[in-house]
């Protein structure tokens, strides 16, 4: 039987000599070095072993060689990664019915359609980064985890006062504080720190001092759910007004129980039955009329009914069985925050659970610090705040936002680390695409499972129009997509900043009918990325919402030919390419134009301009009758007499009446 040299076999198999010798020894085939010989039978055994390995290796090699693309990525970025002309990608997208520019972001679905065409794979962030991130999140979760300690105790309710302007929200708050404030017992002076405590029949009640639903919803928009009970103030002589309706919808949206205080009962024209009748139109039926809404007649001037109102607050609180764990480490919500000269960042916080002590390290939103001092709502310095206590705290590094949560952590170092990571996450979040729902992206988000309900805020010039539009929108609920239209709020008047904050809190779009947004509302909408649509025809509003639900409101594009350029001379420059000396015969050409190269009436290339020059200067545009130099992106096969057709894509806006 003939023998086979190991080095020859290694060469045939394409493996290293040493690797083959080691493999043979593992198989108990004697091989001292690459000059040793083995039998043909032994060689066949080894060949089968390596052949079995090859497909896996090749597969791994192919997989490793494939480019990994992490969405989102623009057309230009993808072309750069693939080292191809971006026009190839744009052409392929157009063939699939997708109009895209070089700066268009491509989502995962579009990338998956392109992956097989251009031979790349879609990936996530590297596993290592993901593991690091998960590990950090576990550490933070462990630090912030606070298992209940000791026995639970009944806690005081937190109450917000809402209602229409001039219906007496502040007057009722003042009347309650004048007669029931802790200052009468503690000898202090009430401090305006954003929240205050009152005592009724040995029961403490905490009132948020900023009346109105705007502050309430602003905190909700930041993820804070502070309020336990909402007192809705309605003037007995005025009835339900537009802001009353707003307040009702804000409270319902937050799923907060409502107690109605029918104020100004001291006036001769007071008509509480009218108020109760109007409330039924908004599904608030008083107990006297067989419903479950508590209505209390009061007068902030004579203070009649104040005790009954507080008694109802206590009753609702007992029914809700509000609990806290005083022995836990403190946690709660920021009510107000400001920068004071000589004191630095000062935050009013409401301790909702556990206890907060002077000296505690706290994480407060995206900032942190050590509690250097605490001042109560009656102006006294305290060392410990138990549930539910509003206090001013000093010692934070920066000013937090109203609605931010705070929590005691083991030490300041950990607080700093967590705050920095939260800031980093916030920065990353801002870099992502707008997450707020809009009519343009609703269908796409719906398909990804992000939305099963389209929340809408309606504002119009007259109630009849608003009701007609509302009824038409609600009829869309009977649709093939299983999507529900929910009108979160419908009201008369201009679109206000309050509407924007409600849209943020409920992830809603705003539809205005014959009304315009106020200036501060417009700014807030831009800042919060809220979709506002203005209409003058109900039909158009309905059609746009229908289109959003069926995915028809995609932007459309049309091709616009800008001009024609004749190639008159060619200049070949090493390491740069072929520069075409051109003359603009018609229209104009821009440095961001797409170019068709036409030769003998046939298109031989489509691509982009790399540089556009006049003499030696880069220019943005060259008009008809002027000469210029054009260097195309990744295309040099040019001839004198070639025609460049310059064109761009123009987006066709949806027909929305402004």
Quick one: which of 414, 425, 406, 546 has its CA closest to 142?
414
Note the maximum CA span of the chain. Answer: 124
Helix or strand holding residue 411 (H, E): none
Q: Residue 465: its pLDDT value, please?
A: 77
Q: Given pLDDT bands bounded at 50, 70 and 90, which one contains residue 33?
A: low
| Mean per-residue pLDDT over the chain, rounded | 81
Kindly report the CA angle at 378 between 377 and 379, in degrees rounded to 5? 95
pLDDT at 501: 86
Q: Which residues contact 202 (CB under 8 A, 6 or more apart)?
A: none
**pLDDT tens profile 220-254:** 555 557 889 999 999 999 999 988 888 898 888 88
The pLDDT score that the predictor gives to residue 62 is 44
Assess whether pLDDT exceeds 60 at residue 1: no
The residues with which 3 forms a beta bridge, in sequence order, are 39
Report pLDDT digits (tens) over 494-514: 899 889 988 888 888 999 988
Domains of the chain: 3-56 (1.10.10.2480), 67-122 (no CATH), 155-324 (3.40.50.300), 331-431 (2.40.30.10), 442-550 (3.40.50.10050), 557-652 (2.40.30.10)
Q: How far is CA 245 from CA 163, 220, 265, 401, in A?
A: 8, 18, 21, 27
| For range 163-168, the mean pLDDT | 84
Query: What pLDDT sits at residue 541?
Result: 86
The pLDDT value recorded for residue 197 is 87
Positions at the binding site: 163-170, 209-213, 263-266
Asked which of 6-15, 83-92, 435-444 is least confident by mean pLDDT, the reply is 435-444
Q: pLDDT of 583-596, one tens digit each?
A: 999 999 999 899 99
Give the span between the Cα atoms of 206 and 335, in whole angstroms: 12
CA distance linking residue 341 with residue 399, whole number of Å: 13
The answer to whether 32 touches 7, Cβ cutoff 8 Å, is no
Give the integer Cα–Cα distance in Å for 529 and 371: 35
Dist CA 270 CA 339 (whole Å)? 44
Beta bridge partners of 205: 198
Percent of the chain at pLDDT > 70 equals 80
**d(C-alpha 177, C-alpha 96), whole Å:** 67
Q: How far is CA 17 from the centre of its chain?
A: 58
Q: How far is CA 324 from CA 152, 166, 256, 331, 409, in A?
A: 6, 36, 19, 11, 18
Instruction: Retrieve residue 148's tokens.
Output: 């209940």
Q: Which helix (H) or strand (E) holds 179?
A: helix 169-180
434 confidence band (pLDDT: 50, 70, 90): very low
Residue 88 binned pLDDT confidence (cut-offs 50, 70, 90): confident
Query: 392: pLDDT confidence band, cut at 50, 70 and 90?
Result: very high
Burial of 590 (0-12, 13-18, 19+ CB in 10 A): middle
Residues 245, 251, 257, 260, CA torsion sign: negative
Binding-site positions for GTP? 163-170, 209-213, 263-266
Distance CA 596, CA 309 (A): 77
């Amino acid at each position: 039987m003939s023998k086979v040299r190991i080095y020859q076999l290694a060469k045939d198999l394409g493996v290293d000599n040493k690797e083959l010798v080691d493999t043979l020894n593992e198989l108990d085939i004697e091989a001292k070095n690459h000059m040793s010989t083995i039998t043909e039978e032994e060689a066949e055994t080894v060949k089968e072993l390596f052949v079995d390995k090859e497909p896996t290796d090749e597969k791994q090699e192919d997989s490793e060689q494939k480019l990994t693309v992490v969405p989102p990525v623009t057309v230009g970025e993808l072309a750069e990664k693939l080292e191809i002309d971006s026009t190839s990608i744009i052409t392929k997208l157009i063939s699939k019915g997708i109009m895209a520019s070089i700066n268009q972001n491509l989502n995962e679905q579009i990338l998956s359609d392109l992956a097989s065409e251009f031979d790349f794979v879609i990936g996530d962030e590297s596993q290592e980064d993901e593991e690091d991130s998960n590990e950090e999140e576990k550490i933070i979760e462990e630090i912030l985890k606070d298992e209940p300690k000791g026995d639970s105790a009944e806690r005081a309710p937190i109450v917000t006062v809402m209602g229409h302007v001039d219906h007496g929200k502040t007057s009722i708050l003042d009347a309650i504080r004048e007669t029931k404030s802790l200052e009468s017992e503690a000898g202090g002076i009430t401090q305006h720190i954003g929240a205050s405590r009152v005592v009724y029949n040995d029961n403490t009640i905490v009132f948020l001092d900023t009346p109105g639903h705007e502050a309430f919803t602003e905190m909700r928009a930041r993820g804070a759910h502070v309020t336990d009970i909402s007192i809705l103030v309605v003037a007995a002589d005025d009835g339900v007004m537009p802001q009353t309706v707003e307040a009702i919808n804000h409270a319902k949206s937050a799923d907060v129980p409502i107690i109605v205080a029918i104020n100004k009962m001291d006036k001769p024209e007071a008509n509480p039955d009218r108020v109760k009748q109007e409330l039924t139109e908004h599904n608030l039926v008083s107990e006297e009329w067989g419903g479950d809404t508590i209505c209390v007649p009061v007068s902030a001037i004579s203070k009649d009914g104040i005790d009954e109102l507080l008694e109802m607050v206590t009753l609702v609180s007992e029914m809700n069985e509000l609990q806290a764990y005083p022995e836990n480490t403190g946690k709660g919500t920021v009510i107000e925050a400001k920068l004071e000269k000589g004191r630095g960042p000062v935050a009013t916080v409401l301790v909702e659970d556990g206890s907060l002590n002077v000296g505690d390290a706290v994480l407060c939103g995206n900032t942190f610090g050590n509690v250097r001092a605490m001042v109560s709502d009656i102006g006294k310095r305290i060392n410990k705040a138990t549930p539910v206590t509003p206090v001013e705290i000093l010692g934070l590094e920066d000013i937090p936002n109203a609605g931010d949560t705070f929590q005691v952590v083991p030490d300041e170092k950990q607080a700093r680390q967590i705050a920095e990571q939260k800031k980093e996450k916030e920065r990353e979040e801002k870099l992502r695409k707008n997450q707020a729902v809009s009519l343009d992206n609703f269908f796409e988000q719906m398909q990804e499972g992000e939305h099963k309900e389209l929340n809408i805020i309606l504002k119009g010039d007259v109630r009849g129009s608003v009701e007609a539009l509302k009824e038409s929108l609600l009829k869309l609920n009977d649709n093939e997509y299983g999507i529900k239209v929910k009108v979160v709020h419908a009201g008369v008047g201009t679109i206000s900043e309050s509407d924007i904050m409600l849209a943020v809190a409920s992830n809603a779009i705003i539809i205005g009918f014959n009304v315009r947004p106020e200036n501060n509302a417009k700014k807030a909408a831009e800042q919060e990325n809220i979709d506002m649509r203005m209409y003058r025809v109900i039909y158009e509003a309905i059609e746009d919402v229908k289109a959003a639900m069926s995915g028809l409101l995609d932007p459309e594009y049309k091709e616009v030919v800008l001009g024609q350029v004749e190639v008159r001379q060619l200049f070949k420059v090493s390491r740069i390419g072929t520069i075409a000396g051109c003359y603009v015969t018609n229209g104009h050409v821009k440095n961001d134009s797409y170019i068709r190269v036409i030769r003998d009436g046939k298109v031989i290339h489509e691509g982009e301009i790399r540089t556009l020059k006049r003499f030696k200067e880069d220019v943005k545009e060259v008009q008809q009758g002027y000469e210029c130099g054009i260097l195309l992106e990744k295309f040099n096969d040019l001839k004198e007499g070639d025609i460049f057709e310059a064109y761009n894509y123009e987006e066709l806006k949806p027909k929305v009446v402004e």
